[in-house]
Structure 1
Amino acid sequence: MRSFYKGTFLLIITAFFGECIEFLINMVMARELGEKGLGLFMTVLPTIFLIVLLASFELPISISKFIAEKDAKYHQSMLHQVIKWTIIFTIVLTGIAAVVIPLVPIFQSYHPILKWLVLFILPIISFTSIARGFFMGKQQMGKIAVSNFLRKIVQLGMLVFLFQWFSFDLDTSVLIAFCTIVGSDIVVFLYLMHMFYIQYQRIKKGNNEALSSRLIWKDLLSVSVPTTGLRIFHALTHAIQPFLIKGALVASGISAANATEQFGMLAGIALTIGFFPSFIAHSFMTMLIPTVSKAYANGDYHKLQKLLQQVMVITVIYGVAAVGIFYFYAEQLTFTFFHSSKAAVTVQLLWPYFLLNYFIIPMQAYLIGFGLLKDAVIHTIWSTVISYTAIYYLGSLSQLQMGGIAIGMNLGAMILALLHYMTICKKIGFSVWLTPVNRIQ
């Protein structure tokens, strides 16, 4: 338990500074791109994340789970197989992407170089995922923390330098914003692959035993396939979300240009503020996946119960404090950091959405550790269908508009949090009040 909290604390500290930098990044983009440019950036971003997601194939999660559960003598065999097949997978994926990406309609509205930037980043993400998963499984969180911090500081430095010394039109400015993301990923790739190479050479010199490739990929794919499916579903729904929200707002009677600006304020300002404390939840998730996987494999339900209690209590403490500040100081926050107080009402309306997501993120780590990925997928589908239906119906009402959008988002988060929570409690033998009951296998 001490190593768990030590690693979590390290991740939280570095993630805090990383989120501060992320906040500055969004401030720079909001000022340099303007509301329209920010809306364009946020509209295409989910589509790019969907493409990049395929390159990672959720290897960080599946590899970290494998390393946490299996004896160290099998690690070299697994890594050898993963590296070999990642090379093949990346070549095939890049070839397919080179044909498909130029045909995707959304890219026709952006600078022509953007589609090639996405193609360039695919192999970088694929191989970075191997190193990230290895260090997560080994619980060497210092390297994960450094890589996360590097990504943010490099992106901020590039943004400030380029926009300070050069002047661009709107299309080029949006392209430059994406260039900084690619540049920061290259730096992270070089750092993690260097550290991974050093560790891999040490592993090769140890007493290793081979596992059949069939067994290795059975273990890895049992996690990667459903997790990737879940992430693809998330990415698809987030890619649809900008058009759904803007369509609902247009149906409510406002202009398309105004709808784009309102979505830009929602995604670029309100969500940036509301998800600022989520670095704590993501830090818990990073540590919980290997910890829960190992404890569950060993049948240590007492540890699982104790961890859940402690994570829930900590989340209540920081989550309630955070959303309280966001609610009562929304106007000051939006004006001070983004020079726009228009998004303040949206921040206030979404406080349940933010708070519930602080709980959802670590609970996903429990479901992954238990191997309950099918449950996670079903929960996500149900909550998204209900949420998106409410978003469009309520958001299209002239008397609600953005208020209706917020209600739909809050409803989806509430359903997802409750489904995750009840499933976890049943699995480890807890009531919803975190008191022991008979555990159901």
Structure 2
Amino acid sequence: MNTFLKGMTVLVIATFFAEVVEFLVNMILARELGESGMGHYMTILPTIFLIMMLASFELPVSISKMIAEKDESYHRSMIRHAVRMALVFTAVLVIGAAIVLPIIPVFNDYHPLMKWVVLALIPVMTISAIARGFFMGKQEMGRIAVSHFLRRAVQLALLTAVFQFFEFGSETALLVAFCTLAGSELVVFLYLLHYFFMSYQKIKRVPGKPVSGHEVRRNLVAVSVPTTGLRIFHSLTHAVQPFLIKFAIVSAGLSTEMATEQFGMMAGIAMTIGFFPAFIAHSFLIILIPTVSKAYAEKEFAKLQKLLQQVMLLTFLYGLPAVTAFYFLAEPLTTRFFHSEQAAVYLQLLAPYFLFHYFTIPMQAYLIGLGLVKDAFIHSVYATVVTFSLIYLIGSRPEWGMEGVIIGMNTGSLVILFLHYLTICKKIGITWMAKRTIRNPRY
């Protein structure tokens, strides 16, 4: 537990500063791109994140889980086989992406070079994923923390320098914004690769035991495939959601341009502010996967129960004050940092969505660590059906519009939170009111 708390503290501190920097990044983007440009940026961003996620193949999760569960003597052999598999996967994915990306219609409204910037990111993301998974599994959270901060700091520096000295048209400005994102990923890649090589040299000096390549590939695929499926589903729904939201509020009577601006205010301003405290939840996610995996492999259900209660308590202690502050200080926050009064209403209405999200992220990490990725996927399907249905049914009504869209988002986030929590409690032997009972846990 001391390792968990130490790693958690390091991640929270570093990620806090990374989130501060990301906040500044979004302020620059909102100022330089304008409301319409920010809407276009937020519209294409989920699609690019989907491609980047496919490139990583969820190797951080599968490798960290494998490293945490196995003795250190097996690590050298496992990493060697994992690297070989990743290189083959990268080559296949790059070839496939080079064929598919030029014909994806979503890129038609953006600069022609945009798709090639995304293509160049694929090998960078795959190799970075191996190093990230290795450090997560070894509980070397300092490397992960620095990489998070470095990504945001480099992007901020590039954005500031480029927009300070040059002026661009709207289409080129969007391309430049994404190029700074790609540049930050490249710097993180070089940082992680450097320390990964140093760590691997130390492992080579320790007597190791061989592991068959078939076993390593099977273990990695057993985790990466369902987890990637879950992430693909999330990414697809997040990629579709902007278009559904804009379609719904256009059906409510708004013009296309007005719908894009409203979506830009909600996604680029209200969500930027509301998701700021989620750096703590994401820190939980990173450290919980290997911690829960190891405890569950050793059948330490008392430890799993105590850990869940601690995570829930810590989330409540930071989440409730955060959303309360967002609700009562919404107008000063959106006006001072983004010069937008209308976004304050969206920030207030989204308060439940943010709070439920803070709880859901560590719950998902728990499910992955317990080997319940299939359950997490089913929960996501149920919640998405509820969310999308309500977004259209309520959001398309003239008297509701964007407010109806937010009602749908709040409801869906509540559904997935309860499904995650009840499933975890059943798995590790806790009643729904968190009363501990370790008799007959389901495993």
1:429 Cα deviation from its structure 2 partner: 0.8
Match of 2:63 in 1: 63
Match of 2:266 in 1: 266
Matches within 5 A, 1:406-417: 406-417=406-417
Match of 2:29 in 1: 29
CA–CA separation in structure 2 for the residues paired with 1:367 and 1:321: 26
Report the RMSD for the aligned CA atoms in angstroms: 0.7
Matched residue of 2:254: which SS? Answer: coil
Match of 2:236 in 1: 236
Match of 2:76 in 1: 76
CA–CA separation in structure 2 for the residues paired with 1:430 and 1:158: 49
1:46 Cα deviation from its structure 2 partner: 0.8
Amino acid at match of 2:306: K
Matched residue of 1:20: which SS? Answer: helix
Please report the TM-score for the alignment, with normalisation by the length of structure 2. Answer: 0.99
Matched residue of 1:421: which SS? Answer: helix
1:112 Cα deviation from its structure 2 partner: 0.7
Match of 1:39 in 2: 39
Match of 1:95 in 2: 95
Matches within 5 A, 1:6-405: 6-405=6-405
CA–CA separation in structure 2 for the residues paired with 1:73 and 1:381: 40
1:19 Cα deviation from its structure 2 partner: 0.4
Q: Deviations over 1:99-146 (max 9, x none)?
A: 110100111110111010000000000000000000000000000001
1:314 Cα deviation from its structure 2 partner: 0.8
1:161 Cα deviation from its structure 2 partner: 0.5
CA–CA separation in structure 1 for the residues paired with 2:130 and 2:165: 37
Please report the TM-score for the alignment, with normalisation by the length of structure 1. Answer: 0.99
4+ residue runs of structure 1 moved beyond 3 angstroms? Answer: none
Asked if 1:440 is matched to 2:442, the reply is yes
CA–CA separation in structure 2 for the residues paired with 1:197 and 1:174: 35
CA–CA separation in structure 2 for the residues paired with 1:271 and 1:218: 39
Q: Deviations over 1:34-61 (max 9, x none)?
A: 0000001111111111111111000000
CA–CA separation in structure 2 for the residues paired with 1:209 and 1:251: 63
CA–CA separation in structure 1 for the residues paired with 2:428 and 2:82: 32
- Aligned partners of 2:85 and 2:217 also within 8 Å: no
Matched residue of 2:424: which SS? Answer: helix
1:440 Cα deviation from its structure 2 partner: 2.9
CA–CA separation in structure 2 for the residues paired with 1:310 and 1:237: 31
CA–CA separation in structure 2 for the residues paired with 1:318 and 1:130: 32
Matched residue of 1:168: which SS? Answer: coil
CA–CA separation in structure 2 for the residues paired with 1:209 and 1:392: 56
CA–CA separation in structure 1 for the residues paired with 2:388 and 2:208: 50
Amino acid at match of 1:131: A
- Aligned partners of 2:387 and 2:411 also within 8 Å: yes
1:3 Cα deviation from its structure 2 partner: 1.4
Amino acid at match of 1:431: T
CA–CA separation in structure 1 for the residues paired with 2:136 and 2:215: 21
Q: Deviations over 1:6-34 (max 9, x none)?
A: 11011000111110000000000000000
1:372 Cα deviation from its structure 2 partner: 0.5
CA–CA separation in structure 2 for the residues paired with 1:185 and 1:96: 21
Amino acid at match of 1:325: A
1:325 Cα deviation from its structure 2 partner: 0.4
Q: Percent identity?
A: 58
1:361 Cα deviation from its structure 2 partner: 0.4
CA–CA separation in structure 1 for the residues paired with 2:366 and 2:125: 25
1:365 Cα deviation from its structure 2 partner: 1.0
Matched residue of 1:207: which SS? Answer: coil
Q: Deviations over 1:130-167 (max 9, x none)?
A: 00000000000000001110000000000011001100
- Aligned partners of 2:124 and 2:189 also within 8 Å: yes
Amino acid at match of 1:136: M
1:86 Cα deviation from its structure 2 partner: 1.2
Higher mean alpha-carbon deviation, 368-377 vs 429-438, is at: 429-438
1:278 Cα deviation from its structure 2 partner: 0.3
CA–CA separation in structure 2 for the residues paired with 1:369 and 1:85: 23
CA–CA separation in structure 2 for the residues paired with 1:310 and 1:98: 46
Q: Deviations over 1:337-358 (max 9, x none)?
A: 1011111111111111000010
Higher mean alpha-carbon deviation, 217-226 vs 250-259, is at: 217-226
Matched residue of 2:98: which SS? Answer: helix
Matched residue of 1:136: which SS? Answer: helix
1:213 Cα deviation from its structure 2 partner: 1.6
Q: Which runs of 5+ in 1 are unaligned?
A: none
Q: Deviations over 1:297-332 (max 9, x none)?
A: 111111111111111011111000000000000011
Q: Deviations over 1:229-269 (max 9, x none)?
A: 00000111111011000000000001000000011111100
